[in-house]
Structures are given as structure tokens and as C-alpha cells.
Amino acid sequence: MRHTRTLCLIFVSGLAAMAAGDDPFLGKWKLNNSKSDFTGETFKLEDAGNGRIRYSGGGQSYWFTTDGVEHPGLFDRMVTVRQPDSKTHHVEYRIKGRLVSTCIARLADGDRTLTRKCKYTRPDGSTGEETIVDQRVGDGSGFLGTWKTKKDEDTSDEHFDIAANGADGWVMTSSEFKATCALKLDGKDYPASGPNVPPGLALSAMRSGDRTVQLTEKIKGKATYTMTYALSDDGRTLTITGWVPGVNEKTKSVYDKQ
């Protein structure tokens, strides 16, 4: 029940730069939560039979049960869900046995609103909290139905550094996620690595303008997320617009140069 962007923040938080010393992308960047917008994404929860519930969203899907048994989730995560009452889900996400986040999801307003309060721990040991409010779209009962994010608040700090990688290349790094990817802006795929990075994840990037770069995230060759990086005229603001290919639900991350 996490956003598709959860994976992408590993790399949105790790943009890297081109080689020239005067490249305007070079420097340190910090997420500006007040200017960013992660609303508008939708997901569906359906009865999959035999006590299972299927999650579908952002072009991905998996199923889980609410009896506390662990099941494979998205992007190499394992998911455990417990339902203490008809209005509440307790959700845990693990990677290779390591707890990475917990969420308490509660129904309200006649089951028309779903609020998820999540806590997470990054690979560097830093922690954060996120509150997501979803609104029911159309019919449904209890947790089942289609949901659209109306509010997303994350007050934790998010940073990335931009460094050069030879001629027209980037080195993507994130100290918080301990993730890295060295690539060239030639449209080819380059592997990424890190404790939270799914196996087979690669990135490709190409210039799409003087101050814009198009980047695609792939898992085992399949495109899972696309981002456009647009730099302001004064070089102090970086706006990243992201979306799942084939899904018309865009989010916006705004970063300030430090």
C-alpha cells in the first residue's frame, strides 16, 4: 500500500551531474516538501479469494492476507498485514528480513477516507514519518475499492548530491539510502546498487533540452518510472516530474540548491 514513488525516491534523492565544471546541475539539493505534490495517484484493493486481497497501482500488483503472514510485495519487499479490527490494517515492509517501514491504515468518514500513518528507517539509520490521506473513488466496501491520494505529508529531510562522471555523465548517489548509479547521458541502461535497490534495477538518461533531462527507471529491462528534471533559469530550483509509463498520474518533487 505504499506509493510507487517510494522506490523512485531512492534515485530522485540521488540525481547526478554532467562533467563540465560549470554544469548548473552540480551541487547539493534538498527536497522542499511545501512546494512538492505527491497527490493524485490511485490504487485498488480487490478481493482475490481465499482470504487474499490484491493491491494494484502504478502498473504493479501483489496480494496479501490480513492474518500476519508475510508475502512478497513490490520491488523485492516482503509485506505483513494484520487486521485488529474492521477499520484498521497494521502493515510492515521488510527487505531481506530488515524492517524498513511500518504503516497504520485506518478507515473513517463512513469508509470514504483512508489515512495511512507510516514510519520508515533508511539504510543510513535516519528515520522519517509520512501521513497519506486517500479518498474513495466510486463504490466499495471497507478497504476494498479504488482510492486516490488527496494529501501526502512527509516532514523528514531528503537530500542528494550532484557530481560529475567524465564527459556528459552522472554519478547518482544518495547517502541516506546508500544508493548509487554511474551513468552517461546516452540513453543506455546502467545498473544501480544499494541495500534498498531491487535486483535488476537500471537507469537510462538523455538530455531533452538545455536545462532538462529525461530519466527512465527499469527493472529487468521493463520501464517502471519516468522522470523529467527541469532546472530553473537561476539554477536554484530543480523540479522533478515523475509518472508511471501508461498511467496519467504525475507527481512533482521540488528541490532547492544548498
Do 175 and 188 belong together in one domain?
A: yes
Do 200 and 138 belong together in one domain?
A: no
For 202-235, what is each residue's pLDDT tens digit?
999 999 988 999 999 999 999 999 999 999 999 9
Do 204 and 227 belong together in one domain?
A: yes
pLDDT bracket for residue 24 (50, 70, 90): confident
For 231-242, what is each residue's pLDDT tens digit?
999 999 999 999
Percent of the chain with pLDDT over 70: 91
* Residue 25 scores a pLDDT above 90: no
Residues 6+ apart with CB under 8 A from 121: 99, 100, 101, 127
pTM comes to 0.89
Domain of residue 192, residue span: 16-37+160-257
Q: Give CA angle at 18 (35, 256), nearest 5°.
A: 20
CATH number of the domain where residue 169 is located: 2.40.128.20
Do 192 and 144 belong together in one domain?
A: no
Answer yes or no: is 179 within a domain: yes
Q: Give me 73's grid cell.
A: 510485495
Q: What H or E segment, with its residue span, contains residue 5?
A: helix 5-12
**Residue that terminates a domain, selected from 105, 126, 154:** 154
* Model pLDDT, residue 142: 97
pLDDT bracket for residue 172 (50, 70, 90): confident
Report CA-CA distances (Å) from 151 to 32, 148, 184, 249. Answer: 16, 9, 36, 14
Q: How many domains does the chain have?
A: 2
